[in-house]
Amino acid sequence: MRVHCHPTLSVVLNHSAFMACCMTVVLQIGSQRCSAQAAAENKIHPAVVQQVVVYREPGRFAGWPANHGFWCWGEELLLGFSRGYHFNHGNAMHNIDRNKPEDFLLARSLDGGVTWTTEFPNQQGYLIPRGKSLHGIEHSDAAVPALRSCTKPVELTHPDFAMALRMDDKDGGQSEFSYSYDRGHVWSGPFALPSMGGLKIAARTDMIIDSASSATVMLTAAKSNGLEGRVFCARTDDGCQTFQFLSWVHDEIAGYEIMPSTVRISSNHLLTITRVREPDMGKSYLEAYRSLDNGITWSYLNRPVADTGEGSPPAVLRLIDGRICLTYAYRAAPFQMLARLSGDDGQTWGKPILLRTDGGGRDMGYPRSIQTASGHVVTAYYFWDTVAGPERYIAATIWDPNKVESKP
């Protein structure tokens, strides 16, 4: 029986093998400490099963899974990420060479995240950086197809469906999407995402499938001053041929509120968590909101994480047992990957779960998480440490949520 793990779409991957430079490392991790002691002593939580290298290549920068997506079909996983060239800008900046091309790649696992192969989806309908991409990098030499309108209904409930949404400019501009009916091997697109009333949209994949032709999409738009960002809810009811603006999640703020990650609790109940930074507070944090009328209106719920250091997008997942799983990075010393669980639909959150502790600096994080058919959660992110070398690489932590309390 096929198991389609999670209704919230998140990332992409495709074609060809480049395995000489892509090394898979599996480390068995153990600890004998409870979560409170682990956090205090900077030890990995005993729920962690394995640490895995998804993609690492000498001289290359690999990063930002949160800007792409993550899908699961039983134990088959598909992850999207960016690849550029390594350049040492110092510990306070992304170490990517902004004068060289950036590509969008995919990584696939057939064994629940233990081993991975890299695929190259360029020129196959998948998203390609066009013009100046998010970080000011010119697109690669691959032919860049013109964006077009989607004029044929997309079958959103196809059992092997995947869809990716992406922006060209973090401050809001043209966004696009591509979709696949064969688990990301062949893609249709890219298609232009409508502006929905003139909004400058910075799309990332945060999509909940509601029916064969309907989906709820959470997006970020530029604020009235043209800067990022403000989160809103949209919906398609005709298989992605058109999208309708539904509601703003929150008022504009002086800083930014971006990168929502959303789960459906019931037919009318949605929970979204956003990445927030306010200049006067001097730190970044995560905010939770809920809608009890299927996205028409939103209300503030709580602040699941009061400090994420440099700032981290959330990755929210509804587990098989109904609990809500939140994963994120702490992008300040000691540079950690963490998780928290909620057993009451996000109203309260359990203690932080330490997934990874050996980060080399703030150039890390941006996670995506899924739950496989085995029940394990796979949290993928980009990382660097002082042992593996200077290059940023894609890593994953495989962990067992059944070994974690969700009580505060």
User: Residue 328 has what pLDDT?
Assistant: 98
According to DSSP, the residues that pair with 339 across neighbouring strands are 327, 353
**Cα–Cα dist 244/292, whole Å:** 19
- Provide the 3-class DSSP secondary structure of residue 203: coil
Domains belonging to the chain, first-starting first, are 8-402 (2.120.10.10)
User: Residue 36 has what pLDDT?
Assistant: 38
User: Residue 369 has what pLDDT?
Assistant: 98
Closest CA to 52 of 30, 23, 9, 93: 23
Query: What pTM, to 2 d.p., does this model score?
Result: 0.88
Closest CA to 185 of 94, 234, 124, 131: 124
41-63-332 Cα angle (round to 5): 35
Structure tokens at 386: 């002082």
List the chain residues with pLDDT less than 70.
1-42, 122-123, 130-144, 169-172
User: Residue 122 has what pLDDT?
Assistant: 67
User: Residue 133 has what pLDDT?
Assistant: 46
pLDDT tens for residues 197-230?
999 999 999 999 999 999 999 999 999 999 989 9
